[in-house]
Structure 1
């Protein structure tokens, strides 16, 4: 590991090398089981969620540039959950750690129900032994329920969004509608012709217990990233549905583009109120056959950038000004951000593997 632009670089083997979110471990007993002084949960997006949760730990007494270890969580799904894929965000509420699917689709569409899941496990119930860590995992995957909930709220009281261009509509929405109808899917009718395809990429719980979900797509009409505030997400595991309380538009577009989507969120509380940290960047990766990138070239090369903004108490809708923290001009795929003590940690997905990057908290 060597310093680079004030960052340390760690090579991590998190096969299949698709890190998509990062969250600091808060259970000290869990860290002590491995002799760690610092740890993070990471979600990976290649495979079912039960196979895609990992622990990254730092050995106590080692320098920050060494002593990092990786454990895969043996997550045992409760009941008989349906197939899941594409975990993109991880967040904590109390003792529960939540993981969220993208609710999106492949780069060429259509929307896929297996990506529309929410899962959770109790951090205080994770069992550790010589053979690793294990936990029971609850999985909610009622096809397109959150897609429908958020789209209805956007239509009723959401901000003005970027117009949905024709190729994106055909590839993601119309193709899903057609598949549901022609194959007689139980979810037929949950995706409708006027919908936006949603791509959840970041999540953080506010101190009130409400959830902020960051959208990589769609953006506002001005190309700004959109946050959905949702109350009662725990109801998904109790037979109910959450409620969308509002939408926040963040003035957080980095260099190189006119549109930016959320890549990840982290929220810090304190005496001065809640402060949101978010990484924003391009609306889809530039590799492969991305319909979005072709349809919205102004969102193709937006530089991944870390912003911070104060969250006014009780604010659920409106615009949020953001302050620049740092940018990653050579790292278009910054997938996760976490805060621990006085440091920021970032996880990136690159051809060479998955990297954890960190820097000291900057005052100002």
Structure 2
């Protein structure tokens, strides 16, 4: 069961193969937002998929009753719930799934209070040990799955089918700005994005990507720069199309969100610059050193100067590291990083 966000699923999905080899048959309960990735990339390891829609589960009583009834009509050898920071919706599902064994990591209290976490532990027959402290999410998944089945040489990767993306009319050289994120505090402002685009668009087409909800922000960027050498594709691409667009770009500038994990799973990639105010630090950003050829984290100035201190606060006090203003990251800070890798594109 993996019902959290798209990025969480991307950092877990490579472990479906060893799980299918051990158990033979897998029913995957997954966030409906991951449907295209599941159906285009993962069905060789999955026998059945039950999709979960968080907003409907929370707000629509009949949807909630129907989904829980559907789950309770089945029985399983094992429920595997790999999410380290489990939440209330996931625990509601886990409680209603019938299985001989229910396995999860001990986890933390990042999404529930301590009292509820202890109560939710009764949902499981086996709570597997995990290392203390902050850990990159892919490595945390590996730590958990390795206690269930043998895993060898598993790396973060995603192979998309070769779809034709010529319909988007992209130039031969372009940079992707991914402007979406799950919360507003993770989104770099239109003004900052315009400042960055103004420098880069002389030599590169700026391709703005994001969900439907970002289309208006994309149009604002396009309008403020008079539309020259800028294309707004927010809400116009599927996940597979987005992956192929990212793969063929010169580089990517993104908020810390699912786009980053999608890009880092691609075989052919150049560089991604990730803007982060420290939300879920280490868990999702920065990527470990072995990925440094393709990845640069651009943190809030306070984090740059006090990284270890900020990580301690995130681990022991806030459980997330949020709260800093992402727009205190200036466009010149981003340009300095890009200039180190692509000096021919930064002419200031």
TM-score by length of 2: 0.24
TM-score by length of 1: 0.23
Q: Specify which structure has the higher proportion of helix.
A: 2
Q: Which has the larger radius of gyration?
A: 2
